[in-house]
């Protein structure tokens, strides 16, 4: 009886442990990443249960025409065209769906004000395939992002 009770307790707590195991896999996306064109650096963070990526650095932060920090001048909503690009969340609403993929999210291109469906695939811990597409995944383009580390 004592042995049975012990075994039962072990089993119960094991179930508890595994059901509360932290979701580390999805959190591997968190960090700073550089798109292939080198024009920006994107910081991915987790808010709630979803992942978001915002611009934290721009190679050319000042608009050469207006001489002020770049803003979202191509936003289709005219009332939002003065939102600064630094701090802008390009990647939104991604959830980790297993197998090194983050789905259900979108990517915004401030160059033309378009929002694309997006699939993020982690090729290795330091490399992402960011595929923006329209409707079908075939109608899109993949960009390779590399993880960055802050120099000490």
Partner 1 sequence: MKRFTLLLFLFVGNQLFSQTDSTKKVEEEEDYSIYENVTSTDGQNKTFCNPKIFDLSPSRFISIAWDQQMPYDMELSQLFSYPKDSTNIVPYEKANANSTSGLRLFANIPVISSNKFLWQLGLNYWNMKYVFSEKITPTLDTSLIQQLQKNGLTTMGLHSTVYKPLNDKQFILMQVSADLSGNYTFSNIQPLKFTRYSASILWGKRPNDRKQWAIGLSRTYRVGELNFLPIILYNWTAPNRKWGTEILFPARVHVRKNFNARSLVMAGYELEGQSYRIGGIPLSVDKELEIRRGELRLRLEYQRQIWGFIWGTIQVGYRHNYSFNADYTQIGGSDFFRGFVGKQEYAMINKLGGAPYFNVGIHLVSP
Partner 2 sequence: MKKILFLSFFVIILFSCKNQSVTSIELNDVNLTAEGPYFEGPNSFQSKILNTLKINNINPENVDKIVLASAILILPDSIEAGLIQDFSLQLVSNSSEMKKVAFINPIPTGKKEIELTVAQEQEGINEIFSKEEFTTLLDANFSKDFETNIQFKAKLKFNITTH
Contact footprint for partner 2 (CB under 8 A)? 47-50, 52, 54, 56, 71, 76-80, 82-84, 86-87, 89, 92-93, 106
CB of 23 or CB of 124, closer to partner 2: 23
SS3 16: helix
Closest CB 102 distance from partner 1, rounded Å: 14
Does position 61 bind partner 1 by CB under 8 A?
Answer: no
Quote the CA–CA distance of 40 and 115 in Å, as a whole number: 18
DSSP code of 62? B
Residue 28 partner contact from partner 1, partner 2, none using kind-dependent CB cut-offs of 5 to 8 Å = none
Of 14, 108, 110, 13, the closest CA to residue 58 belongs to 110
CA–CA separation, 69 and 150 (whole Å) = 24
25 touches partner 1 by CB under 8 A? no
Among 7, 36, 69, 95, binds partner 1 (CB under 8 A): 36
């Amino acid at each position: 009886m004592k042995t049975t009770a012990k075994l039962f307790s072990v089993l119960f707590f094991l179930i508890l442990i595994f059901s509360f195991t932290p979701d580390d896999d999805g959190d591997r996306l968190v960090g700073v990443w550089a798109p292939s064109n080198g024009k920006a650096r994107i910081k991915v963070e987790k808010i709630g249960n979803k992942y978001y990526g915002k611009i934290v650095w721009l190679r050319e932060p000042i608009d050469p025409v207006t001489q002020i920090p770049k803003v979202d001048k191509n936003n289709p909503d005219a009332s939002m065209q003065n939102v600064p690009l630094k701090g802008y969340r390009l990647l939104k609403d991604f959830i980790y769906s297993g197998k090194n993929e983050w789905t259900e999210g979108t990517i915004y291109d401030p160059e033309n004000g378009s929002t694309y469906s997006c699939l993020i695939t982690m090729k290795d811990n330091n490399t992402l395939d960011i595929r923006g597409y329209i409707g079908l995944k075939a109608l899109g383009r993949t960009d390779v992002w590399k993880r960055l580390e802050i120099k000490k």
